[in-house]
Amino acid sequence: MAQARGSETDFDAVVVGAGFAGMYMLHKLRSLGFSVRVYEAGTGVGGTWYWNRYPGARCDVESIEYQYGFSDEIQREWTWTERYAAQPEILRYQNYVADKLDLKKDIRFETRVTAADYDEGSARWAIATEHGEHVRAKFFVMATGCLSSARVPDFPGISDFQGESHHTGDWPHGGVDFTGKRVAVIGTGSSAVQSIPVIAEQAAELLVFQRTANFTLPAGNRPLAPGEAEAAKESFIEGRKRAYDSQGGLISFEYIEAMIDDLDPDFVQKELSDRWHQGGFSFLGAYGDLMATPEGNKVAADYARSEMAKRVADPAVAEMLLPNDHPVGVKRLCLDTGYLEVFNQAKTKLIDVRKTPIERISRTGVVAGGVNYEADCIVFATGFDAMTGSILAVDIKGRGGESLRDKWAAGPRTYLGLSTAGFPNLFFITGPGSPSVLSNMIISIEQHVHWIADCISNLEGRQVRAIEATPDAENAWVDHVNEVASLTLYPVANSWYMGANIPGKPRVFMPYAGGVGVYRQKIDEVAGAGYEGFTLDREAQAASA
Ligand code: N01
């Protein structure tokens, strides 16, 4: 192993973010002998799981699959307690890994990176933090997460509100006591669907402001049975290999490839039913065209609506809660524990803000349709500036001072989701143009960390000073990402995948829908062909130029 290089101000790599991605990137590069500095805005590791401490926060991927796979020792030492781990358990796991690998000493906490400028002369990034610190690094890695830029809509009067208000993605560490309070929740995405049943246990009154009804199915969470987690450890490493080559990085269920018209209708209904009651995302894999054609999707969507309706006592309320403006699965499917049943409680009121839009926040509550709904607390479960928000929060300037914000003004453009032309030695982990949020994030994070670490080692071994995507390769990749998306129903919905939840954000389908296994093959082929689609700037060439 090479001797670690670098000084307090000059590193082989600077990484932004200490969630699952940044932690593993640090470990991987450090174990290859590179000097690495990580910057993290929070006071601790965890990323998403550090910030999203709202009541009921829980992973929607099974805990056995939602963990690092790079160390058999780590997976054997850690024992998950529930089918879907809750936020505190995941955060404990991340801290356990960080401590075991002694990661924290190379992470600067409570420090946001504000700017990064590429200096062509030295082929190094100059990175500035909010505290006025300046460091340099050959490689700059954005491990900022896809759902980390919490967004409160720009409602008039927000600062007038006299009660307590919080965004689910920036929740107080000490928790919030809703006992006996009137609570208004704005939003009905995954964060709302998870938090509302827990808030309802304490609140005296609950007001839910819904703009879009979402598909939600019972998660089927449960404690892992004695011996279950231990047994999973035996097959974990072999399973992880299969996950790397799978569609979504999940191996707890199979995708049926046959099209619905080629299947017996009774078989289809049984598959839908079995998968629905199994909980989790297996429902979306019931047949090949479920996510590809309106006709195929409708069968599953009808099934989902019929199951959801059974859970709501008042048919008029059920009607409001049943999604009817988008296909099932094209907005992130919600997994819930008792969500719809909350609307059977007398203390809950559902307000359709399509019919009666939120006009403003008053001193005492939320004003919609001319009515002031009084509340002691407002919970903004209003989502994130997804995928690009945290990348563009840093003022990144590439070759010739080109601004990434300008370059991506009409939507993100990447080569393989890993890099972008004009910005040498800059890498994204699970960036736009990669499977990312359509997959088990841990699988996609590991895939990218391995690729980036191999790339950096390879370049260092060949005295390459800079690697940069070519505009042609990038254009071809962007076209491919769009073409694959157009074969699915994803682009039809107003989802955060499309940037549609942010007023003014370009409407572009950001992740790559081709699947984890297919994507892995492509990025490995690129590396195997000597980083096809990239230009490599060799030190000898630079010296003679
Ligand atoms: O955010 P969202 P989220 N007026 O964008 C509404 C992951 N996650 O935090 O749908 C009124 O989904 C908005 O309405 P609409 C998961 O990938 C995972 O819930 O845009 N309403 C919507 O109802 C998830 O998909 C877990 O019409 C407004 C809600 O706010 C992603 O994070 C748990 C509004 C936002 O929903 C984001 O989920 C939680 C306005 N002006 C999250 N603006 C796990 O289980 C927005 N809304 C691991």
Is 80 exceeded by the pLDDT of residue 543?
no
Q: Whose alpha carbon is nearest atom 12 of ligand 1? A: 189
Q: Which atom of ligand 1 is nearest to the CA of 61?
A: 48
The Cβ of residue 532 has, within 10 Å, a number of other Cβ atoms equal to 11
Distance 177 CA to ligand 1 centre (A): 22
| Per-residue pLDDT tens digits for 13-46 | 999 999 999 999 999 999 999 999 999 999 999 9
Report the pLDDT averaged over residues 487-510.
94
The CA 335 to ligand 1 mean position distance, Å, reads 13
CA–CA dist 323, 494 (Å, integer): 13
- Tell whether the model's pLDDT for residue 280 goes beyond 60: yes
Residue 110 has pLDDT above 80, yes or no: yes
Residue 1: the pLDDT is: 34
Domains defined along the chain, listed by start: 2-149+386-544 (3.50.50.60), 216-380 (no CATH)
The predicted model scores a pTM of: 0.96
Quick: pLDDT tens for 354-399.
999 999 999 999 999 999 999 999 999 999 999 999 999 999 999 9
Characterize 335-352 residue by residue with b for buried, 16 or more Cβ atoms within 10 angstroms of its Cβ, and e for exposed: bbbbbbbbbeeeebebbb
The pLDDT of residue 3 is above 80: no
Share of the chain above pLDDT 70, in %: 97
Say how far apart CA 346 and CA 341 lie, in whole Å: 11
Residue 119's CB is within 10 A of a number of other CB atoms, namely 12
> Counting beta carbons within 10 angstroms of the beta carbon of residue 401, is it exposed (0 to 12), middle (13 to 18) or buried (19 or more)?
exposed
Quote the distance between the C-alpha of residue 8 and its chain's center. Answer: 32
* Encoded tokens for 382: 């209003």
Mean pLDDT of 315-319: 97
Residues 6+ apart with CB under 8 A from 470: 415, 421, 533, 534, 535
397: nearest Cα among 112, 140, 150, 143 = 140
Query: Across the chain, what does the average pLDDT equal?
Result: 96
545 pLDDT above the threshold of 90? no
Q: Is the pLDDT of residue 448 over 60?
A: yes
- The CA distance from 259 to 286, in Å, is 9
Q: How far apart are CA 528 and CA 43, in angstroms?
A: 39
Q: pLDDT value at position 6?
A: 55
Atom of ligand 1 lying closest to residue 383 CA: 1
Ligand 1 centroid–CA 187 distance in Å is: 6
53: CA distance to ligand 1 center in Å?
15
Q: In angstroms, rounded to a whole number, what is the distance separating the alpha carbons of residues 327 and 499?
A: 17
CA of 78 to the centre of ligand 1 (A): 31
Structure tokens of 303? 């099934």
Helical packing angle, 441-461 and 516-528, nearest 10°: 0
State the distance from the centre of ligand 1 to the C-alpha of 20, rounded, in angstroms: 21
Residue 261 region by backbone torsions, left for phi larger than 0, else alpha for psi between -120 and 50, else beta: alpha
Reference 377, options 168, 184, 177; nearest CA is: 184
Q: Whose CA is nearest to atom 18 of ligand 1?
A: 190
Q: Among 52, 82, 501, 502, which residue has the most ligand 1 atoms within 8 Å of its CB, making it the best to mutate? A: 501
* Nearest one of 169, 175, 165 to 151, comparing CA atoms: 169
Residue 266 token pair = 């009774």
Q: Which of 58, 67, 171, 190 to mutate to test the pocket of ligand 1 (most atoms within 8 A of CB)?
A: 190
pLDDT of residue 544: 40
Angle separating helix axes 441-461 and 20-31, nearest 10 degrees: 30
In the structure, what pLDDT confidence band is assigned to residue 206 with cuts at 50, 70 and 90? very high
Q: What is residue 336's predicted lDDT score, i.e. its pLDDT?
A: 97
User: Among residues of the chain, what percentage have pLDDT more than 90?
Assistant: 96
For residue 214, the CA-to-ligand 1 centroid distance in Å is: 10
Residue with CA closest to ligand 1 atom 39? 191
Of all protein residues, the one whose alpha carbon is nearest to atom 10 of ligand 1 is: 212
Q: How far, in Å, from the CA of 210 to the mean position of ligand 1?
A: 11
Read off the tokens for 139: 């490689």
Residue range 131-181, pLDDT digits in tens: 999 999 999 999 999 999 999 999 999 999 999 999 999 999 999 999 999
Ligand 1: which residues within 6 Å by Cβ?
58-60, 147, 153, 168, 186-192, 194, 211-212, 332, 353, 358, 381-384, 496, 501
**466 C-alpha to center of ligand 1: Å?**
39
Q: For 318-333, write each residue's pLDDT tens digit.
A: 999 999 999 999 999 9
Full 3-state SS string of 161-205: CCCEEEEHHHCCCCCCCCCCCEEEEECCCHHHHHHHHHHHHHCCE
Mutate to test the pocket of ligand 1, among 191, 498, 505 (most ligand atoms within 8 A of CB): 191
pLDDT of 69 over the 70 cut: yes
Query: How confident is residue 226, by pLDDT bands cut at 50, 70 and 90?
Result: confident
Give the per-residue pLDDT at 8. 83
Structure tokens of 9? 């101000």
pLDDT surpasses 80 at 540:
no
